[in-house]
Amino acid sequence: MKERILEKSEAMWKDALRYIPWGTNLLSRHPLRFVNGVFPKFAARAKGCLLWDIDGNQYIDFVMGHGPFLLGYADDAVDNAVIDHIRNGTVYTFAHPLETIVSKMLVDTIPCAEMARFAKTGGEATAIAIRIARGYTRKDKIVFCGYHGWHDWYLSANLADPTALNFSLSPHISARGVPKALSGTSIPFEYNNIDSLQKALQANKDEVAAVIMEPCRGWLPEKGFLEKVRELTHEENVLLIFDEIVTGFRLSFGGAQEYYKVTPDIAVFGKAMANGYPQAAILGRRDFMECVTDMFVSSMFWGDTIGLIATKTCINEIKSRNTIENVWKKGAFYQKNINTIAQKYKVPFRLRGLPPVSYLEFSHENPNVARELKLLFMQEMVERGFIMGDLIYFCEAHTDSVIQDCLSSAEEVISILSEALKNGDLSKRLKNRGYMEGFRRMV
């Protein structure tokens, strides 16, 4: 283990707290989501699967910026296309052909897509999809399952019931600032529980515009579940929206809808589509999408060409490099091997979910022990040079030898966890100061 100094990270965090409420703009990047004082707080640069912090320490990253990379950080093909493109401008007085070219590429790729609209973030894309569903059906209520961003339509779920978002997002989510008039307009249902969806639809009969859900993520759909959701939404005359911000491209080219062969009415894609450049898309059947022409859905940077040239290049690269299949293989190999190691050392740990994006799960009857096990795992891994968080995002740049090295270190660390469990000295081994619970994620 190399001795690391994190002086610059710690000093800059003091400044960050002074100038930025919360210190950062994304919950998942908050130092309390890692092992505070042991993980770096600021990145300086990254390439492939390597990341350097501002103190100059080098790591192999398995969190990968929280999901936007399939090819790896700073991929030459995508970056060179962007650099060449921006010499001729980025946004213009008129539309740029890339808007049409990339729309066509997505329509040709994604089963539900007959038309496309663009946005920059996942939250924006889901808000647009919800607006379209409400506009098309002329109904207001939304039934949801999963995480869908920070907008009013979603957080309003916690107005009527302050625990509504506990399992889709996290406990302690405040709906402060969300208009009280939205109370009762967004209603959660449980993943893999068709009765809970049925109940939500019956209790709000003829008022629901759409069901929006993450088709899968940390949990996989039980046999027939997605098909039943599709059937029920048809029967109730409700649009079905798949939030494929995470599953899009990562799971299969056409997303979970292609993988599970269940086609929603509308889908939103984001994260991995542009290999790290901000880009999201709303896609759907022509009659739903055309509804936008009778609404106001418009923004300056949605037609920005940096994200579009990155998307175009990224899609071509993923295809020619067979990236999705490679990432599946890497993730499946890692999952299988780390789970075998955990069993060997009798540590209550498993990596679950879809191989391209897997969940680190420690289970114990005492939730504090489960949390401490996870933190000790993360602490010992980062001290060995591997960044790991609740979610592990695999990318093409995780070579076989990187994965093998990571498994060797994981075995060392899991044996430490096993010893700590036996000795009952987990807390003593932890160097962290404070922890903030992240997304529980029901899906």
Q: Does 245 bind ligand PLP (CB under 6 A)?
A: yes
Q: Are 318 and 254 in contact (CB under 8 A)?
A: no
Between 185 and 279, CB nearer to ligand PLP:
279
> How far from each other are the two terminal CA atoms of the chain, in whole angstroms?
36
The sign of the dihedral angle between the CA atoms of 33, 38, 41, 45 is negative
Q: Are 408 and 82 in contact (CB under 8 A)?
A: no
d(CA 144, CA 229): 12
Query: What are the two backbone dihedrals, phi and then psi, of residue 26, each rounded to the nearest 5 degrees?
Result: -130, 125
Between 153 and 349, CB nearer to ligand PLP:
153
Q: Residue 28 CB: number of other CB atoms within 10 A?
A: 16
Between 103 and 279, CB nearer to ligand PLP:
279
Please choose, out of 117-125, 187-195, 292-300, 350-358, the segment that lies near ligand PLP by the rule CB under 6 A: 117-125
Q: Which of residues 366-405 bind ligand PLP (CB under 6 A)?
A: none
3-state secondary structure of 360: strand
Please choose, out of 120-128, 307-315, 395-403, 409-417, the segment that lies near ligand PLP by the rule CB under 6 A: 120-128
Q: Does 123 bind ligand PLP (CB under 6 A)?
A: yes
**175, exposed or middle or buried, with CB in 10 Å at 0-12, 13-18, 19+?**
buried
Looking at 24, 90, 121, 337, which residue binds ligand PLP (CB under 6 A)?
A: 121
Between 173 and 347, CB nearer to ligand PLP:
173
Between 148 and 312, CB nearer to ligand PLP:
148
In this structure, which amino acid lies at residue 242? F
Looking at 248, 270, 276, 303, which residue binds ligand PLP (CB under 6 A)?
A: 270
Q: Residue 387 CB: number of other CB atoms within 10 A?
A: 21
In this structure, which amino acid lies at residue 373? L
Helix axes 76-86, 305-320, angle to 10 degrees: 150
The minimum distance between CB 439 and ligand PLP, in angstroms, equals 8
Looking at 34, 147, 189, 362, which residue binds ligand PLP (CB under 6 A)?
A: 147
The minimum distance between CB 245 and ligand PLP, in angstroms, equals 4
The minimum distance between CB 270 and ligand PLP, in angstroms, equals 6
List the beta strands (DSSP E) in 110-157: 115-119, 141-145
Q: Does 65 bind ligand PLP (CB under 6 A)?
A: no
Q: Which of residues 178-217 bind ligand PLP (CB under 6 A)?
A: 214
| Nearest residue to ligand PLP on Cβ basis | 122
Q: Does 40 bind ligand PLP (CB under 6 A)?
A: no
In this structure, which amino acid lies at residue 237? N
Q: Does 246 bind ligand PLP (CB under 6 A)?
A: yes
Q: Within 13 Å and on the Cβ side, how many CA atoms surround 173?
A: 28
Q: Does 148 bind ligand PLP (CB under 6 A)?
A: yes
Q: Does 149 bind ligand PLP (CB under 6 A)?
A: yes
The minimum distance between CB 299 and ligand PLP, in angstroms, equals 14
Between 112 and 414, CB nearer to ligand PLP:
112
Q: Does 230 bind ligand PLP (CB under 6 A)?
A: no
Q: Does 358 bind ligand PLP (CB under 6 A)?
A: no
Tokens of 252: 């299969």
Q: Does 122 bind ligand PLP (CB under 6 A)?
A: yes
d(CA 390, CA 111): 30
The minimum distance between CB 169 and ligand PLP, in angstroms, equals 10
Per-residue burial over 228-250, b = 16 or more CB atoms within 10 Å of its CB, e = otherwise: ebbebbeebebbbbbbbbbbbbb
Between 279 and 409, CB nearer to ligand PLP:
279
Between 246 and 324, CB nearer to ligand PLP:
246
Between 288 and 439, CB nearer to ligand PLP:
439
Q: Are 208 and 139 in contact (CB under 8 A)?
A: yes
d(CA 92, CA 150): 29
Tokens of 375: 């933190």
Binding site for ligand PLP (CB under 6 A): 121-123, 126, 146-149, 214, 243, 245-246, 270
